[in-house]
Amino acid sequence: MRVYDCIQKKRDGSVLTAEEIEFIVAGVANDTIPDYQLSAFLMAAFIRGMNPEETAHYTRAMMASGDVLDLSDISPLTVDKHSTGGVGDKISLVLAPAVAAAGAIVPMMSGRGLGHTGGTLDKLEAIPGYRIGLSVDEFRAALREVGVAIIGQTGRLAPADKKLYALRDVTATVDSIPLITGSIMSKKLAAGPASIVMDVKWGSGAFMRTIEDARALAASLTAVGRHMGRKVTSFITDMNQPLGRMVGNALETIEAVECLQGRGPADIMELTRVQAGEMLFMAGRAPSFDEGCTLFDRVIADGSAFEKFVSMVENQGGDAGYLRDVSRFPAAAERIEVRAKQSGFIQAMDSVSIGIASIMLGGGRERSEDVIDHSVGIEVLKKCGDQVAGDEPIAILHASRQSKTQAALERYLAAVTIGPAAPAARPLVVERI
């Protein structure tokens, strides 16, 4: 078999066989195919697409390129969730301990910030001492003892994706539904959960800008997961404005604590509740989705979800004193108000720009080697539909002396559209697939 022939076949719009796809992915993993041929293959796949069978073969081959964990001895009903990424999305920090407090085993492998989106691992690392790099044995022990662990992907998990993702990033081939499906699902499947809830976001802060694209991605993720013998439910959810009130690492961890203590913003609580309801149903802890939601309400109200978060953090080396007294998180050096330029209603928020404004403050990475300042970020005071008076504060930038504060302020202002009428309300959870 020759790589050239596979590239040519895909370039001409033909369907690749399982053997051809396995040959290419094996060549990625063994470093036997040069980057220029892989880039040509990726562009051909981007332009021509891949059908559901090809996408499933591609995903399976990427999953098999590294370690594949088997957690069935810990529980046959482990359950995880994955979000396609957003701004202010701290759902995992609330969801994982809450679902574990309700009796499910939650093996969660998360990522760092990608592009304008924040990363669960960066938020957890705002807690001094928290270790994301558990070994597989430590991960398994944490699941047995605590019922939940949130860690980074081990280096040996889907290594072919790591290489291909880096190439996609520089060859304009990221936003392809089959390539995203293979990338996300190969890692999720290798991490071993029996069931997965997918939070597929659409809108100004998401990789999928329209509901139709989000629906197509959700259908693809769901089909591949089911083809590989896992239970998968996808939710399509709104990402046209930041979730909650906080954007930035320590700020979001503090907001997650407030949610776990039943004091969180309504949008975060709603999104977490539906995903928890589904996860508890899938994990056999609740006889229906609705009863799963009720169980979530109970573990929030009785404090057991918060206590589970404390146990998880302590078990991974973090100083849980910060969770019991969030005033211990170091505050940013400066607070700068962003004031509305005119009066009216907030009609739209460009969440990508708000994510970028947070990165400019130092809350994310512009280059992979950048060090994050956990204390900086943005407090969003006004959201879509809110009425504002001219010169009224609409956000507070939490900045350090290193922050590009003026640029972030301008970026934030440009991201917010104020007009004479309130926009039509949009559902947060659009549909469940």
**Contact positions vs ligand URA (CB under 6 A):** 165, 174, 180, 183-184
Interstrand relation of 393-399 and 387-388 (parallel, antiparallel or unpaired): unpaired
| Closest approach of ligand URA to the CB of residue 55, in Å | 12
Q: Assign 201 to helix, strand or coil.
A: strand
Residue number of the CB closest to ligand URA reads 183
In this complex, which beta carbon is closest to ligand URA, that of residue 154 or of residue 375? Answer: 154
8 A C-beta contact, residue 105 and residue 148: yes
374 as an active site residue: the answer is: no
Q: Among residues 122, 161, 199, 238, which one is catalytic?
A: 161
Stated length of the chain: 433
Closer Cβ to ligand URA, 45 or 180, answer by number: 180
Whose Cβ is closer to ligand URA: residue 78's or residue 117's? 117
Q: Is 82 a catalytic residue?
A: yes
Residue 274 beta carbon to ligand URA: minimum distance, rounded to whole angstroms? 22
Strands (E), 356-415: 377-380, 387-388, 393-399
Closer by beta carbon to ligand URA, 173 or else 240: 173
Whole-number Å distance between alpha carbons of 222 and 201: 14
Q: Is 297 a catalytic residue?
A: no
187 is catalytic: yes
Alpha-carbon distance values, 278 to 49, 77, 142, 262 (Å): 31, 13, 23, 20
Cβ at position 62, least distance to ligand URA in Å = 11
Q: Tell me if 260 sits within 8 A of 309, measured CB to CB.
A: yes
Which among 48, 90, 163, 187 is annotated as catalytic?
187
Nearer to ligand URA, 85 or 277 (CB): 85
Half-sphere exposure of 115 (CA within 13 A, CB side): 16
Q: Which of 319, 350, 45 is nearest to 168 (CA)?
A: 45
What distance in Å separates the CA atoms of residue 86 and residue 394, rounded to the nearest whole number? 20
Look up tokens 């889907």; give the residue. 158
Active site residue 290: no
CA distance 184 to 195: 14
Q: How far is the CB of 390 from ligand URA (least distance, A)?
A: 39
In the complex, least distance from residue 305 CB atom to ligand URA, rounded to whole angstroms: 27
Q: Which residues are catalytic?
A: 82, 161, 168, 183, 187
